């Protein structure tokens, strides 16, 4: 029995961590979580007005619009501060938008901006999305229904509206990368010259026998690595310079990498510029990458190897949590954020208590006591 004592002591030591280390790790993870939020939505503590007309998440303020008599859009930072208790509609990313908070349109001064009142945003485009309406049917956004966003007008469309209740074929949502609605295709007719870059439409009478875009990509890249995407290159002859005129009807369901195959000649470049469509060449928004190992170690004040590995795992968990959080209604998002902030404050206070008491390690019993304290407080409130 005496021989087993060192092993038992070692097991106990593995379960213990000093209060200082735990506090440092908590602060490091908290900073990583904040970075994920900033990458996806923006800085919660600043207004994006000075960034100009950029692609960013936009929130339509119903409260301000009712007073102003016109749509009002605000950035993520203002939605979480100046307009926190207003009725807001999440519109997701919008091209070429500048925050309306603090402008004459909003009728409110921006609490995140220390300068003078913002000038009017004359280049913002306000669609029916700002009134909570989407698609060609002017319907609501359906969380339980498949809706696809056009990368041009950035409106969202019901799948049954795209197919006109099954009258027209539509490829599976996983088989194409970018959707461009028929309205935007008509505004950019040169895109109809690139039908070969679109996902093949399933035959309405033989959908089961349809060759999907995925299968086509595999066939054209035979012999390549399984995960290698199809490669595209600009056409040798400008399609706009030919006499062939393609049929100009229907939506566009483009394959991944299709922009790389657009002609870059002088005629086409002038056409793109005249069509005001820089969004075509905008790179897709990348997910926040986890910090490098040395960055995590420095941020955590020199965490142990095990703690560094845990922090790397937690980064991916936080990114997934942020993605899931964005799927729930805004009011619930705010409530979750408030509860997490409260939990963070309670944990920091608890760790400081342990440090002040002179306790050098945090044990399983300490964590259980902290959990009981939180549960009790929740019941009282």
Over residues 278-286, the mean pLDDT reads: 69
Residue 331: its pLDDT value, please?
52
Q: 355 or 105, which is more confident? A: 105
At 186, the pLDDT band (50, 70, 90 cuts) reads: very high
User: For the stretch 166-205, what's the b/e string if a residue is b when 16 or more beta carbons lie within 10 angstroms of its beta carbon?
Assistant: eeebbbeeebbbbbbbbebbeebebbbbbeebbbbebeee
Mean pLDDT lowest for which of 23-32, 89-98, 247-256, 300-309?
300-309
Backbone dihedral angles phi then psi of residue 242, each to the nearest 5 degrees:
-90, 165
- In sequence order, the β-bridge partners of residue 179 are 150, 253
Grade residue 237 by pLDDT with cuts at 50, 70 and 90: confident
| 134, pLDDT greater than 50 | yes
Q: What is the pLDDT of residues 41-75, one digit of tens each?
A: 567 888 999 999 998 999 999 999 999 999 999 99
What confidence category does residue 307 fall into, taking pLDDT thresholds of 50, 70 and 90? very low
Query: Is the Cβ–Cβ distance between 62 and 79 less than 8 Å?
Result: no
- Please provide the average confidence, as pLDDT, over all residues in the chain: 74
**For residue 178, pLDDT beyond 90:** yes
**297-306 mean pLDDT:** 34
The residue ranking higher by pLDDT, 371 or 12, is: 371
More confidently predicted of 75 and 166: 75
Contact indicator for 108, 102 with CB cutoff of 8 Å: yes
Looking at residues 113-141, what average pLDDT do you find? 88
Share of the chain above pLDDT 90, in %: 31
pLDDT, tens only, 336-370: 666 666 677 677 778 778 777 877 777 778 888 88
Decide: pTM greater than 0.85. Answer: no
- CA–chain centroid gap for 272, Å, is 27
Predicted pLDDT at 40: 57
Give the pLDDT score at 314. Answer: 43
Residue 247 pLDDT class (50, 70, 90 cuts)? confident
Out of 39-48, 276-285, 313-322, pick the least confident: 313-322
Using pLDDT thresholds of 50, 70 and 90, give the confidence band for residue 251: very high
pLDDT, position 148:
92
For residue 2, pLDDT over 50 is answered with no
Phi then psi dihedrals of residue 165, to 5 deg: 55, 40
Q: Comparing C-alpha atoms, which of 328, 334, 323 is closest to residue 76?
A: 334
**Structure token pair of residue 239:** 């399609």
Which of 143-157, 162-176, 280-294 has the lowest average pLDDT?
280-294
Percent of the chain at pLDDT > 70 equals: 62
């Amino acid at each position: 029995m005496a021989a087993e004592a060192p092993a038992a002591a070692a097991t106990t030591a593995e379960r213990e961590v000093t209060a200082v280390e735990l506090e440092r790790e908590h602060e490091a993870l908290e900073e990583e979580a904040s970075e994920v939020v900033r990458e996806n939505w923006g800085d919660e503590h600043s207004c994006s007005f000075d960034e100009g007309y950029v692609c960013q998440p936009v929130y339509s303020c119903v409260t301000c619009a009712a007073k102003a008599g016109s749509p009002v859009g605000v950035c993520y930072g203002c939605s979480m501060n100046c307009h926190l208790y207003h009725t807001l509609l999440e519109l997701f990313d919008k091209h070429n938008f500048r925050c309306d908070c603090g402008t004459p349109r909003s009728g409110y001064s921006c609490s995140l901006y220390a300068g003078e009142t913002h000038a009017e945003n004359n280049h913002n485009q306000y669609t029916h999305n700002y009134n909570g309406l989407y698609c060609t049917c002017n319907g609501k956004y359906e969380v339980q229904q498949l809706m696809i966003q056009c990368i041009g007008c950035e409106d969202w469309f019901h799948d049954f509206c795209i197919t006109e209740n099954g009258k027209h074929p539509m490829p599976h949502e996983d088989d194409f990368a970018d959707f461009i609605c028929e309205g935007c295709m008509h505004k950019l007719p040169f895109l109809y010259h690139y039908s070969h870059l679109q996902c093949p439409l399933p035959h309405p009478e033989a959908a089961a026998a349809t060759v999907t875009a995925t299968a086509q990509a595999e066939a054209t890249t035979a012999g390549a690595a399984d995960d290698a995407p199809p490669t595209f290159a600009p056409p040798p002859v400008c399609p706009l310079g030919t006499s062939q005129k393609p049929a100009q009807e229907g939506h566009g369901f483009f394959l991944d990498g299709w922009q790389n195959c657009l002609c870059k000649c002088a005629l086409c470049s002038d056409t793109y510029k005249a069509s005001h469509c820089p969004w075509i060449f905008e790179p897709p928004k990348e997910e926040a990458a986890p910090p490098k190992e040395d960055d995590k170690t420095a941020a955590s004040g020199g965490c142990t190897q095990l703690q560094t590995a845990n922090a790397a795992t937690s980064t991916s968990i936080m990114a997934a949590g942020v993605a899931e959080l964005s799927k729930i209604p805004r009011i619930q998002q705010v409530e979750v954020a408030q509860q997490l902030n409260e939990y963070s404050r309670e944990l920091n206070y608890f760790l400081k208590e342990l440090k002040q008491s002179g306790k050098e390690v945090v044990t399983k019993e300490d964590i259980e006591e902290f959990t009981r304290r939180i549960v009790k407080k929740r019941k009282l409130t």
